Amino acid sequence: MLREAIYHRPKNNFAYAYDKDTLHIVLQTKKDDVESVSLIFGDPYDWKDEMWQTQILEMTKSGTTDLHDYWFSAVKPEFHRMRYGFQCSDKTETIYYTEGGIYSTPPMEIANYFCFPYLNKADVFTPPSWVKDTVWYQIFPERFSNGDRSNDPEGTLAWGSTDPSPTNHFGGDFQGVIDHLDHIVDLGIGGIYFTPIFKAHSNHKYDTIDYMEIDPQFGDKETFRRLVKECHNRGIRVMLDAVFNHSGYYFPAFQDVLENQEKSKYKEWFHLWNFPVKSEPRPNYDTFAFVGSMPKLNTENHEVREYLLNVARYWIEEFDIDGWRLDVANEVDHAFWREFRQVVKEAKPDAYILGEIWHDSMPWLQGDQFDAVMNYPFTNAAIEYFGKNEINAEDFASTITKVLHMYPKHVNEVAFNLLDSHDTPRILTLADNNFDRVKLLYLFQLSFIGTPCIYYGDEIGMAGGQDPGCRACMEWDEQYQDRQLFNFVKSLNKLRKNEPVFGNKADFRIVKADNSKNYVIYEKFNAEKKLIFVLNNSSNTLQVDLQEITDQDLLEWNMEG
């Protein structure tokens, strides 16, 4: 057995409280190396005749990557405490893996075992329950619909009259969204994620001037209140974008610094290196990336924290929004996000907190900070396989299995699974304008574990490259919309809703990945039912003998869209 590949460590994706009574335990071993794994466990205080009392439970192989197998067990320790170890067997030997190391017989000393000390409810990762059943729709407000010409900024162009540029404006606004809620309802959406709506000069509004004001080009607070109400009336939640890592250049506090320099009462609001503060030729203060017009906010400063936390509270309490998406979330300190969570959950216990993090995000998903992150590792695997055909079926299967084993199960269940966004090319463009590939992407996304997000316009076949290309005006003329694609996505959303095993209430497992014929088979299952998905990623007709996969009777259903 390859001892060097065996890995486990408590209090992350390898061992966590799934709910207040249940622990999930995961073990990593080398791929195809171990034949069976059992969990040895017991209450640390349960002794008889000076012997620690244990039970044993066979673990299930939950997935395989290019290098590793993963083994899973769920346990409900009666007194909420557990010590445990692993018994691993292959054809030639049985070994015992514990915190103390690897042994040939079960160690007698309880101190050697792994420890999950206590299942305290306060520490359980608890996302809002509605998120699991939500399909999101992302709107870039400047480009969704111009419903009110009276609030158009100077120089607004006719809708869709030209390509989007980094600086042009088309007058999209809240009234436009309200006007088109039917489209969103028809598609089967449960939540809208709006990129920033607060006062800012740019068309994307990531350079905030005033976090307490709606940008007038979108409407006013009353329009926004009406928008939220209209959404709620239709069972649609509303999530806003919080750009708290940095402010815009014209944020009054930063302007005050530029004007009053060392005398500014806001000089502690930023990370200034020296005086005089200047943004040219290179900023002498911390910024987002190297963008002088986006000075990084000093969230360690008490006043800044108070200000931003007040913003977080205000839009929930006054406008009843349902979630915050946090821009550049991983560059802000954890301490701030912990306070942020307390404030948000106090204002609305079932608000959703979504961090923009493109990487492995375990440190933010422990229950004390975010409910979810934008799941780009999922995105990348899906795009590279179904979108671009750049990786083979086995690599795709391996990566998706890795993605699912990166986080606890309840973290995966509310992960924000996007295929593209305002920060990437659109899926149709990524897929080289191949609609079949786009359909495979949607089928995979919408049958996967997590909470999927559709980027506005993708559902009717809009194309577009990297920003600004992906931010074009929504196409409302049905004759230019791909209605077949729309209906395909709509029918998937219906399935997701009406068939729990298709949707977010089942387990996922890769069954087969075939490089030569370029297809993958995966299954979604719960105790009662199993759905088998065969996704042909080649342009050839595929014949698969499903009797190889299962000996159960099969009901076949061909997803032709």
Catalytic residues: 327, 356
The region of 178-186, 261-269, 354-362, 440-448 touching a second copy under the rule CB under 8 A is 354-362
| CB-CB contact of 141 with 197 (8 Å) | yes
Distance CA 207, CA 139 (A): 18
Among 203, 299, 375, 401, binds a second copy (CB under 8 A): 299
Please enumerate in sequence order all residues whose Cβ is within 8 A of that of 231, keeping only pairs 6 or more positions apart, or say none. 181, 192, 237, 238
**If binding is defined by CB under 8 A, does position 86 make contact with a second copy?**
no
Q: Which is nearer to a second copy, 163 or 333 (CB)?
A: 333
CA dist., res. 327 & res. 373, Å (int) = 11
The span from the CA of 248 to the CA of 252, in Å, is 9
Single-letter residue type at 67? L
Q: Which stretch binds a second copy (CB under 8 A): 204-212, 358-366, 425-433, 468-476?
A: 358-366
- Least distance (Å) from a second copy to the CB of residue 512? 21
Minimum CB–partner distance for residue 539 and a second copy (Å): 26
Tokens of 202: 């740019």
DSSP letter at 503 equals: T
| Phi/psi of residue 496, nearest 5 degrees | -60, -35
- The SS3 assignment for 42 reads strand
Judged by CB under 8 A, does residue 402 bind a second copy? yes
Nearest C-alpha neighbor of 286 from the set 331, 320, 242: 331
Give the chain's count of helices (H) and strands (E).
12, 27
**557 forms part of the interface with a second copy (CB under 8 A):** no
Binding track, positions 114-143, relative to a second copy; x by CB under 8 A: xx-xx-xxxx--------------------
User: Quick one: which of 136, 211, 336, 378 contacts a second copy (CB under 8 A)?
Assistant: 336
Binding mask 314-333 toward a second copy (x if CB under 8 A, else -) reads ----------------xxxx
Question: Nearer Cβ to a second copy, position 31 or 348?
Answer: 31
In angstroms, what is the minimal distance from the CB of 67 to a second copy?
A: 5
Interaction residues for a second copy, span 484-523 (CB under 8 A): none
Please state the closest distance from residue 233 (CB atom) to a second copy, in A: 36
Query: What tokens appear for 507 in the block?
Result: 């387990």
* CA 160 – CA 472 distance, rounded (Å): 7
**According to CB under 8 A, which one of 48, 282, 302, 359 is a site residue for a second copy?**
359
- CA 101, 105, 107 angle in degrees (round to 5)? 55
- CA 508, 512, 516: angle at the middle one, nearest 5? 145
Find the shortest distance in angstroms from Cβ 307 to a second copy.
16
Shortest separation between residue 11's beta carbon and a second copy, angstroms: 4
Q: CB nearer to a second copy: give 369 or 504.
A: 369
Determine which residue in the list 334, 494, 517, 529 makes contact with a second copy, applying CB under 8 A. Answer: 334
Residue type, 189: I
Count Cβ atoms within 10 A of the Cβ of residue 397 and give its class: 0-12 exposed, 13-18 middle, 19 or more buried. Answer: buried
Q: Residue 43 CB, nearest distance to a second copy (Å)?
A: 9
Judged by CB under 8 A, the chain residues 257 through 296 that form the site for a second copy are 286, 289-290
Three-class SS of residue 300?
coil
From the list 360, 413, 423, 467, which residue makes contact with a second copy (rule: CB under 8 A)?
Answer: 360
Of the ranges 50-58, 96-104, 309-317, 527-535, which one interacts with a second copy (CB under 8 A)? 96-104
Residue 19 vs 286, nearer CB to a second copy: 286
Mask for 43-82, x = binds a second copy (CB under 8 A): -xx--------------------xxx----------xxx-
Q: Cα separation of 191 and 57, whole Å?
A: 41
Identified binder of a second copy from the candidate list 31, 132, 313, 530, rule CB under 8 A: 31
Phi-psi region of 433 (alpha: psi -120 to 50; beta: other; left: phi over 0): left
Nearer to a second copy, 141 or 355 (CB): 355
**221: its two tokens:** 């607070």
Q: For a second copy, which is the closer residue by CB, 13 or 447?
A: 13
Q: How far is Cα of residue 38 from the mean position of the Cα atoms in its chain?
A: 32
Interatomic CA distance for residues 299 and 289, integer angstroms: 17
What are the phi and psi torsion angles at 533 (to 5°)? Answer: -110, 125
Residue type at 123 in one-letter notation: D
Shortest distance, position 263 Cβ to a second copy, whole Å: 24
- Which residues of the chain form contacts with a second copy (CB under 8 A)? 2-5, 7, 9-11, 30-31, 44-45, 66-68, 79-81, 99, 101-102, 111, 114-115, 117-118, 120-123, 286, 289-290, 299-300, 330-336, 338, 357-360, 362-363, 366, 368, 376, 380, 399, 402
